[in-house]
Copies of this chain bind each other. A is one copy, B any other.
Amino acid sequence: MEANPILAEAVRGNWVENRHRGAFVIVDADGQVIASAGDIDRPVFPRSAIKSMQALAIFDRHAVERFHHSPEELALACASHHGEDEHVSNVSRFLERMGLSVNDLECGAHMPTNAKARQALRAAATEPSALHNNCSGKHSSMLSVALAMGVPTQGYVDREHDVQRAVRAAVEYVIGEELTEDRCGTDGCSIPTWAAPLHAWARGFARMSTGKGLDGEHARGAQALFDAATSHPHLVAGTGHLDTLVMEAFMGRVMQKGGAEGVQCGAIRDKGWGYALKCDDGNMVASHTMVAALLLRFADPDANQKAVLDQFARQPIKNVRGTVVGEMRAVGI
């Protein structure tokens, strides 16, 4: 297998300590490649980066007509939220509106991503619940799909459950590729994740961004989801996170979503371009430097947007005493 290029490096003092390889692609809705590096045909797990695609099942299965999901609920369906108060209370209300509760979530519980939220739980000697799981909004939307389909909610995370079949079909429709069982794994939140080529994920984002290649219902659903996410960037991630800060700064022009193990996907909406990026070794900070460099180069940032991206494209490395001793930085994008 040919090595992907080095797209980020960590420098300590005056010497490169670590190298991070990866691949990225930017395409339009027709699949025309605008820019790329590395192997864009190799199937990769998209993980949480494609929650907005998975959320299209809400529209496919008419859950949105039944529950009149608010933009906040749609944003949470696309979110890897940080377990802050705003996230937990909104997910709780989301479930309540459907007559469900935290007990119906099958994502498992983990400590909030947000440090202050973690400290608050520890100070209160409270264990985290499934509401704090970064995927609890997505799982609420999957429960919504189950109810709309009239199937039992229990086991909705299983690959052969009607909900996951619906989610899989929605994603396949958007990317125009079959998701096959020889490239399937279980995500951190227990639902299936399917590997597909980077160019397919990128084209899916371009299609969702433009509606091109999608039927009217899917196009409207995609638009509603992207509008919800880019209008509520804090719900999609959390305080200080790249996804939130980038979407805030670009004010609707950019949909940006990270996934575990170094995946970054999104759309430069006004250009109609989708992009997908994977850091080969799964390092998240490296993937942040890479996607920031990608947006710096291709998203025509203004001064404010550039300032936001700059802080992610080069990130200080500090020692235990807090002194800056190096930096992680994107290279070759």
Contact = CB atoms under 8 A, between A and B. Distances in A.
B262 A323 contact: no
Interface in A185-238: 185-190, 193, 195
A177 to B, nearest CB: 15
Contacts of A185: 12-15, 17, 325-326
Copies assembled:
2
A319 B282 contact: no
Residue among A3, A17, A122 with the highest chain B CB neighbour number at 10 A:
A17
Contacts of A160: none
B189 A319 contact: yes
Contacts of A183: 13-15
Interface in A2-27: 3, 6, 10, 12-15, 17-21
A308 interface: no
Given A189-B320, A190-B323, A280 B13 contact: no
Given A18-B262, A281-B18, A320-B133, A45 B190 contact: no
Contacts of A193: 12-13
Interface stretch (A52-60, A105-113, A266-274): A105-113
A52 to B, nearest CB: 21
Contacts of A122: 122
A329 B89 CA distance: 40
Interface of A: 1, 3, 6, 10, 12-15, 17-21, 43-45, 107-110, 122, 133, 182-190, 193, 195, 261-262, 280-283, 286, 319-323, 325-326
A15 B3 contact: no
B188 A319 contact: yes
The 3 A-B pairs with the shortest beta carbon distances in the complex, nearest first, are A13-B185, A12-B185, A3-B3
A15 B196 CA distance: 11
Given A18-B261, A133-B320, 9 more contacts: A15-B43, A15-B45, A15-B184, A15-B195, A17-B44, A108-B321, A186-B319, A188-B319, A188-B320
